[in-house]
Structure 1
Amino acid sequence: MATFVLIHGGGGSGWDWHLVGAELRRRGHDVVAPDLPIEDPAAKLADFRDAVVSEVGERADVVVVAHSYGGFTAPLVADRLDARLLVFVAGMVPAPGETPGQWWENSGYTSPSEKLSVVEQFLGDVPAELAEENIARGRDQRSAEWDDPWPLAALPDLPTRALLCREDRLFPPDLQRHVAKARLGITPDEISGSHMVLLSRPVELAERLEGYFAALR
């Protein structure tokens, strides 16, 4: 059994992972999916890390999973908890000293050429009722981490996987392949789905995460 620590993306909450979490629990694993303190104007990356570490407590066999903007927090958590595995799902992989605000240009990100709605950009294949609830549950990101340099000298030295979403219109597959190769030195795995694949394909995503943990053995 693993402890899956599921870290949400920008403007989100632990609720974003509720379907994946339920599936992982059904398979016998423990799950921690905290709300990062994004509504606190004073909160920085260290505060995000500490909020997660506090909720994990003394749990063992930790697998840290980052979605999207959660990629800036997940390696800090994995490093502090001596995690067994780190997984980026459509994740922003940070570089030492880089602020979240700098990531976009540094990574080679380009804005979509067409004007997209929130649903089109993030939730393209999420059932309408679930997409509406996700939008309604969105939180204002008022925290202070945007200009906060990522503090580690390197990414944690532990098994790391990246999973791209083939229909992602926020972080297109080519961008995700480039980031994974340049920053992790790996070729990402692929899953069908939009940026919010954790809501549109929770069973398949849980299977991937469980499979990554099983492969450690």
Structure 2
Amino acid sequence: MLVHGAGGGAWEWNVWRAVFAARGIDAVAPDLRPVAAGLPATGFGDYAAQVAEALQALPRPRAVVGASFGGLLAMACAGQADALVLVNPLPPAPWSSRMPAREWNDVVAWGRDARLASTRRALPDSDEATALFALRRWRDESGAVLRTARQGIEVAAPACPVLCIASGQDEDVPAAVTMELAEAWNATLLRLPTASHVGPLLGRGAALVAEQAAAWLSAR
């Protein structure tokens, strides 16, 4: 199962799903949904429950792959998985204290305020078509879930195999934090020196990264 990041959607995984399908890996990518009361009322536990429910519905062996905020959700549900892939994940406690300080409104208007210039800055290693594709699909997000993530979620070290992917040009989650997490959890580490935060999913090299992740999963 592929879990997208904050402000994104299942569309972020289009390249990965195609690569996984070519390798015979059936990958589902659900969209995280706000609660009925709306984004301001949506909390971390609401999204985690959605991921857990979708994961439980899959046959074993099953893996959960999470990017950015989706990586933290994947960690929270790792006990139900047989393998875990974390792509520039928002880190759990205590590494969360190393994250840059940010302030979040109750609704983070990434969709409403999306502009092509800011999308290009967020996707420096993507092509123009991908930037336009993403521009039309960013969505607003719950500030509460981002505040909770920044405060730190306690998770146990996964018992299953873990692959951590760290982008060298990540301005949201420092590569050093992902590398420390990988070392502490005895995880396999894949370093991408020139990739941005979302580059492993939406950059020009996304297919190659997905191929490496698929090969790692297949070997397990």
TM-score, length basis structure 1: 0.77
User: AA paired with 1:9?
Assistant: G
Return the alpha-carbon distance in structure 2 between the equivalents of residues 121 and 185 of structure 1.
33
Contact 2:165 2:190 in 1 (8 A): yes
Residue in 1 aligned with 2:206? Answer: 202
Deviation at 1:107, TM superposition (A): 1.7
3-state SS of 2:27 partner: strand
3-state SS of 1:205 partner: helix
Residue in 1 aligned with 2:114? Answer: none
Unaligned runs of 5+ in 2: 103-116
User: AA paired with 1:123?
Assistant: L
Unaligned runs of 5+ in 1: 112-116
Return the alpha-carbon distance in structure 2 between the equivalents of residues 169 and 108 of structure 1.
10
Residue in 2 aligned with 1:17? Answer: 13
TM-score, length basis structure 2: 0.76
User: AA paired with 1:58?
Assistant: L
Residue in 2 aligned with 1:53? Answer: 52
Return the alpha-carbon distance in structure 2 between the equivalents of residues 210 and 69 of structure 1.
21
Return the alpha-carbon distance in structure 2 between the equivalents of residues 204 and 35 of structure 1.
24
Deviation at 1:88, TM superposition (A): 1.1
Residue in 1 aligned with 2:69? Answer: 69
Deviation at 1:151, TM superposition (A): 6.0
Return the alpha-carbon distance in structure 2 between the equivalents of residues 36 and 7 of structure 1.
8
3-state SS of 2:145 partner: coil
Return the alpha-carbon distance in structure 1 between the equivalents of residues 99 and 75 of structure 2.
21
Return the alpha-carbon distance in structure 2 between the equivalents of residues 8 and 76 of structure 1.
14
Spell out structure 1 runs of 4+ moving beyond 6 A: none
Deviation at 1:85, TM superposition (A): 0.9
Return the alpha-carbon distance in structure 2 between the equivalents of residues 14 and 35 of structure 1.
5
Return the alpha-carbon distance in structure 2 between the equivalents of residues 118 and 211 of structure 1.
34
Contact 2:161 2:187 in 1 (8 A): no
Query: Per the alignment, do residues 211 and 187 of structure 1 end up closer, same or farther by CA in structure 2, a change over 3 Å counting?
Result: closer
Residue in 2 aligned with 1:214? Answer: 218
User: AA paired with 2:210?
Assistant: A
Return the alpha-carbon distance in structure 2 between the equivalents of residues 139 and 6 of structure 1.
18
Return the alpha-carbon distance in structure 2 between the equivalents of residues 59 and 150 of structure 1.
31
Deviation at 1:126, TM superposition (A): 0.6
Query: Per the alignment, do residues 175 and 140 of structure 1 end up closer, same or farther by CA in structure 2, a change over 3 Å counting?
Result: same
Residue in 1 aligned with 2:83? Answer: 85
Query: Per the alignment, do residues 15 and 174 of structure 1 end up closer, same or farther by CA in structure 2, a change over 3 Å counting?
Result: same
**Identical counterparts, % of pairs:** 27
Residue in 2 aligned with 1:29? Answer: 25
Contact 1:45 1:150 in 2 (8 A): no
Q: How does 1:1-217 map to 2 (within 5 A)?
A: 5-38=1-34, 40-56=39-55, 57-79=57-79, 81=80, 83-95=81-93, 103=96, 106-109=97-100, 118-119=118-119, 121-142=121-142, 144-148=144-148, 154-181=156-183, 184-186=185-187, 188-191=189-192, 192-196=194-198, 197-200=200-203, 201-216=205-220
Return the alpha-carbon distance in structure 1 between the equivalents of residues 123 and 155 of structure 2.
34
